[in-house]
Every structure is written in structure tokens, then in C-alpha cells.
Amino acid sequence: MNLFGELVDYITNDINGTVQADTNAPVWVTALCLNSPVSATELNQLIERNIPADQITPQIREFLNNIIARNKILKTFKNFNPNFNRIYGKTFLEDNQEPELEHFQRTYYTSPLIYSGYPYYCPNGWRRYSLLIDNFELYEDWPVAYHGTASKNVLSIMNEGLRPSENTNDNQCAVFGDGYYFSPSIEYCGHPRYAKVKQSKTRGFYIQTVLQCRVKPKSFEIHQETLLEDKSKVIDPNFKNSELTWLIPKDYVKECREKGENFIIIYGIMSRITDQEPKNLPVNEWWKF
């Protein structure tokens, strides 16, 4: 299996594991999960022909909906834009561990690229699986930003888009207010609070995933980081700690949607693949503080 297959597994195996691990799920549920992707119509026809109606519990129906969602994302993977796949700088794997180098273009640059006045630094050690974006020229001068997330969230984000962070009585996660949170620093988004670390079951690699985005100029507020206890430590030498959080307020998003305007596009899945735990990498020394 190549590393792209590993990434697919990384994003989808939360669903597979849930289905297979549930001891109350009939064998046929597991079998459906492991079979080749099928459409929602095909899956429902299969159920009607083979499964007694009294066995379709709400829990099983939820599992089936997850399988359909998984199939949608697998179909989405076919719409990637491999012409713009990139490996940035030196990876954390030796070349003999890299079976898919021919599918990437290596690149590295020392000076940042500038988009609408904001710097885009080379995301060293990361690779990009590029997504097809219609009319990308409309967004090519928008600032680059990142959004770290857990593997289980990539599935819904790819299908439904990002959801805003919102404060509730039980969860005060939106430190600077309700809205969509990003950072110009991939290293900041690579912290495990955002980009959860997962180990491949087949090859032992450690994988993290961050979404690469373009955000509309003048749509976001700039705030300080929220992770460090020791505020004297530097997270990313390319940025001040006081400018690591970008927030697109929820009210602004509502205005954009009412006008039919985009405020963000996701144009790449960034992946850091290592043969050691990411917390031990020199670039992540700041995680200790």
C-alpha cells in the first residue's frame, strides 16, 4: 500500500474501526463496511433484498450512513489534482521508505511568497495532496492559512465543509468568539490538540493531517496563540506568537453566505508522515511548554 492509501485509511478507519469493533453489529454490517464502495441507492437495494426489516435498528442505520459518507469521500479522492502534489523540503522518511515519490514534485524555498500582503512560508517536512478547485484564479491572491483537525473530522469537512467553533455552556472552545479558526503557521496547526497523531497499523508511520486553505482578505481578525503556558517560548520563528490565530467571525460568514460569496476554500490536504513520534521532532520542541 502506498502512502496515499495510508492517508485514505487514516481518514476512513475511524468509521471502519467503529463498525468492526461494535460487538452488537451483525456480521453483514461489517461485511458491507469492508466491501468496495457502493452508492446509497445500491446499498439500500442490497439491504432490502437481504436484511429483515426488524434488524435495521437506528444504530445500524447510523453505521450505514457512515459507510455511505465514507464512499463519498473515497469518490472525492479521485478528484484530487496530482499535478500540484508537493513534497516541501526534506521529509521525515528516507527515500527508500517513500514508494510514491514519482507522484510528487519536490520543492523548497527560503523566502516567503506573499499573498495580499501576508507571507506563505515553505511548509517544511509536509506533503500536499492537492484538490481540484474550480476557478482557482479567483482565489490565488488570498492569504494561505491552515486548519488542523482529527482524522474523524476530515470526512465530514470534505463532504460538508468546515463548521464554526462555538461556545456553549459545556464547551468554551471559541476563545476569541464564535467563528472559523485558522493559522498562518502550519507548525502551530500541527500541535496534537488540533492535528491528532495517528499511527498506521500497517506500516507503523505516524500521520498528522492539516487542511491547507485560502481565506478571503480582510475577512479575519488576528489574535495570539492559545496553547503555551510559558508565553516566552517561540512556536514558529516565522511568526510572532501574537499573530498565530486567525478568526473569521461567525457574523461575517453569515453576511458572505447571504451574498453568495466564498470566504474560504480548502485546496490541499497536508500530511506529515514520520517514522518516529512527532513530539520527538526538533521542530516540535515547543510542545513541551
Structural domain span for residue 38: 3-77
- Same domain as 143, residue 47: no
Q: CA neighbours within 13 Å on the CB side: how many for 274?
A: 19
The pLDDT of residue 33: 40
- Do 72 and 89 lie in one domain? The reply is no
171 and 184 share a domain? yes
Residue 244 and residue 141 in one domain: yes
Structural domain ending residue among the three candidates 77, 102, 129? 77
| Domain at 276, CATH number | 3.90.228
Whether the CA torsion 11, 14, 15, 16 is positive or negative: it is: positive
Last residue of a domain, one of 40, 59, 77: 77
What pLDDT, on a 0 to 100 scale, did the predictor assign at position 82?
82
Q: Do residues 56 and 186 both lie within one domain?
A: no
In a shared domain, residues 86 and 73: no
Number of domains composing the chain: 2
Q: In this structure, are 26 and 13 located in the same domain?
A: yes
Whether residues 69 and 118 share a domain: the answer is no
Using DSSP, state whether 91 is helix, strand or coil: coil
pLDDT for res 198 = 86
Which positions ≥6 away from 211 have C-beta within 8 Å?
Answer: 146, 147, 148, 149, 154, 157, 162, 266, 268, 269, 270
Residue 244 · residue 220 · CB < 8 Å? no
Q: Please identify, among 39, 62, 77, the residue that sits at the C-terminal boundary of a domain.
A: 77
Neighbours of 134 (CB within 10 A): 6
pLDDT of residue 36: 47
Residues 214 and 88 in one domain: yes
Q: What is the pLDDT along the chain (289 residues), one digit of tens a residue?
A: 455 555 555 555 544 444 343 434 333 333 334 344 555 566 666 666 666 666 667 776 776 666 666 666 556 566 678 889 899 998 887 766 765 677 789 999 999 999 999 999 999 999 998 888 889 999 999 999 999 887 767 766 776 778 777 665 555 566 788 889 999 999 999 999 999 998 877 778 888 999 999 999 999 999 999 999 999 999 999 999 999 999 999 899 889 989 999 999 999 989 898 889 999 999 999 999 9
For residue 153, the model assigns a pLDDT of: 74
- Rounded Cα–Cα distance for residues 279 and 288 (Å): 8
Domain co-membership, 201 together with 284: yes
**Per-residue confidence (pLDDT) for residue 4, from 0 to 100:** 57
Same-domain check for residues 30 and 138: no
Considering the domain architecture, whether residues 159 and 264 belong to the same structural domain is answered as: yes
